[in-house]
């Protein structure tokens, strides 16, 4: 690594690091974020002439501490690509073969691995790409600010570049619009952009997309974002259904909310994801008690009342350490499954709706192995006495064409992406995205360097040391199909 200063117009940018293992386009991308001068307009003077995008640093004799001069005009307007995004399935067969069955990597533009890993994991959701593809440059719903609109366009364009490129992509437009919409991602220390929290990036991006796609005058897009990631939480159902119970006064009240991830809380007795989810769905909070006339401690027990097509699980590994005044990390090993069944975390109402699809799923899987199926008799017996048990219309994924078999959620999910963190603090370390492909193989997206991995490698990301460990897991719903 070399450290140089760059003079541009009347400004001098000191302490800029050059990764000489990366092509100069990456260095130019760093300068773009500082100056707003697009790489194609930058003329950087080095020995022998002007720095080329693909030059070999070892031949340029750039020295540590050297001052470089850059000429170029900043462009304040972020321009969308002239061509719309092109997905892999739309490319000619010869280009698909060159793509090696997976999308391109993303250049690290200076501590942006948190952003790259988030993009690669969300890029694995084809339904999200379809919704973004229908989002036009001029579409802007009521109440949506320009920054949110630009970030949605940048997400669409970056996904398109990933799918049409066989070489690493420099996500310049996305990074600039992300920092404009959420200034915390533009924090600097000694003129160097700081590492940020991938979970915060994930959450903010999903929140923005839910706003913009919902307001895009497209009801289908609005519904799909809620169906894709939304989780409805409701009280723990019993004979008297409270969700918030005050241990002191005996008060009970019901509460509902929509979230976009489940939390896996980690403590000394949590060894598996299921245990962490139980902790996350049962919490204590302090609030004012009308009966007592003061604040009191409430126990809150939540249950899932509506499931998404893609279930996001966050491992709560970071906490604020007061004595050192910094974020610390829980390194404890917490195993997670390739197949996750959340049936036990569902409300009684949802469990009833899930029974018939779950039986269909079991029958279909048994049929693959030549085993006897339970069929309708079992489903009827399970649902006897409950008129709502067979009503799974709210869980139908595809209801448009009656001739097409309905796909119904079952509460069973398959792991399709993992975002990991390596290091002791959220303000440092390294983030990587691990994504399962359609053919079943896994790709480790370490910035601009995608690598094929085995399934057993994914299960080794559970923590317990200084190796990469799961921070966010993305699960895809396993569905049951019926013709009626």
Count the neighbouring beta carbons within 10 Å of the beta carbon of residue 286: 9
Distances (CA, A) of 432 to 43, 286, 335, 443: 33, 37, 18, 10
Distances (CA, A) of 444 to 35, 392, 399, 451, 468: 32, 37, 35, 5, 11
The H-or-E segment that residue 15 falls in is strand 11-18
By C-alpha distance, which of 338, 394, 345 is closest to 226?
394
Catalytic residue among 102, 113, 121, 201: 113
Between strands 11-18 and 2-8, the pairing is antiparallel
Distance CA 358, CA 409 (A): 8
- Contact between 461 and 418 under an 8 Å Cβ cutoff? The reply is yes
DSSP 194: P
CA angle 264–267–270, rounded 5-degree value: 70
In 187-248, DSSP assigns E strands to 188-189, 192-193, 231-235, 244-246
Q: Quick one: 245 exposed, middle or buried, by C-beta within 10 A (0-12, 13-18, 19+)?
A: middle
Please spell the DSSP secondary structure of 160-187, one letter per residue: HHHHH-SS-B--HHHHHHHHHH-GGGG-
The angle, 0 to 180 degrees and rounded to 10, between the axes of the packed helices 219-229 and 198-214 is 150
Distance CA 75, CA 172 (A): 13
- 113 has catalytic annotation: yes
Work out the end-to-end distance of the chain between its first and last CA atoms, rounded to an integer number of angstroms: 63
Catalytic residue among 272, 274, 279, 430: 430
Distance CA 397, CA 408 (A): 6
Annotated catalytic residues are 113, 430
């Amino acid at each position: 690594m070399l450290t140089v200063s760059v003079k541009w117009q009347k400004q001098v940018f000191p302490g800029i690091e050059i990764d000489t293992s990366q092509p100069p386009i990456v260095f130019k991308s760093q300068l773009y974020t500082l100056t707003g001068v697009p790489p194609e307009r930058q003329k950087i003077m080095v020995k022998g002439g002007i720095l080329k995008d693909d030059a070999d640093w070892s031949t340029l004799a750039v020295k540590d501490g050297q001052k470089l001069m850059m000429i170029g005009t900043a462009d304040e307007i972020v321009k969308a690509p002239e061509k719309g995004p092109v997905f892999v399935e739309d490319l000619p067969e010869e280009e698909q073969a060159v793509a090696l069955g997976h999308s391109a990597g993303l250049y690290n533009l200076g501590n942006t691995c948190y952003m790259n890993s988030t993009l690669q994991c969300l890029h694995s959701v084809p339904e999200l790409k379809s919704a973004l593809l229908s989002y036009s440059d001029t579409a802007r719903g009521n109440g949506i600010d320009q920054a949110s609109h630009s970030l949605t366009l940048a997400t669409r364009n970056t996904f398109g570049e990933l799918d049409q490129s066989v070489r690493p992509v420099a996500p310049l437009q996305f990074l600039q619009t992300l920092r404009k919409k959420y200034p915390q991602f533009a924090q600097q220390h000694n003129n160097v952009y700081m590492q940020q929290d991938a979970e915060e990036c994930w959450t903010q991006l999903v929140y923005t997309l839910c706003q913009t796609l919902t307001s895009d005058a497209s009801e289908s897009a609005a519904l799909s974002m809620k169906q894709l990631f939304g989780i409805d939480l409701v009280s723990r159902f019993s004979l008297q259904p409270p969700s918030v119970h005050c241990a002191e006064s005996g008060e009970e009240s019901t509460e509902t909310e929509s979230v976009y991830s489940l939390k896996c809380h980690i403590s000394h007795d949590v060894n598996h994801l299921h245990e962490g989810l139980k902790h996350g769905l049962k919490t204590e909070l302090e609030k004012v008690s009308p009966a007592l006339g003061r604040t009191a401690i409430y126990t809150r027990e939540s249950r899932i009342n509506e499931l998404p097509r893609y279930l996001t699980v966050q491992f709560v590994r970071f906490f604020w350490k007061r004595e050192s005044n910094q974020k610390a990390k829980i390194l404890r090993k917490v195993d997670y499954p390739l197949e996750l069944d959340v049936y036990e975390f569902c409300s009684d109402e949802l469990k009833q709706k899930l029974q018939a699809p779950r039986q269909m799923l079991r029958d279909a899987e048994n049929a693959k192995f030549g085993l006897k199926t339970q069929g309708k008799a079992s489903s009827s017996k399970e649902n006897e006495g409950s008129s709502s048990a067979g009503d799974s219309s709210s869980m139908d994924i595809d209801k448009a064409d009656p001739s097409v078999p309905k796909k119904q959620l079952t509460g069973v999910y398959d792991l399709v992406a993992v975002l990991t963190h390596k290091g002791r603090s959220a303000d440092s370390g390294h983030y990587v995205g691990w994504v399962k492909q359609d053919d079943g193989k896994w790709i480790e997206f370490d910035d601009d360097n995608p690598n094929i991995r085995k399934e057993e490698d994914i299960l080794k990301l559970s923590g317990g040391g200084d190796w990469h460990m799961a921070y966010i897991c993305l699960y895809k719903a396993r569905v049951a199909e019926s013709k009626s």
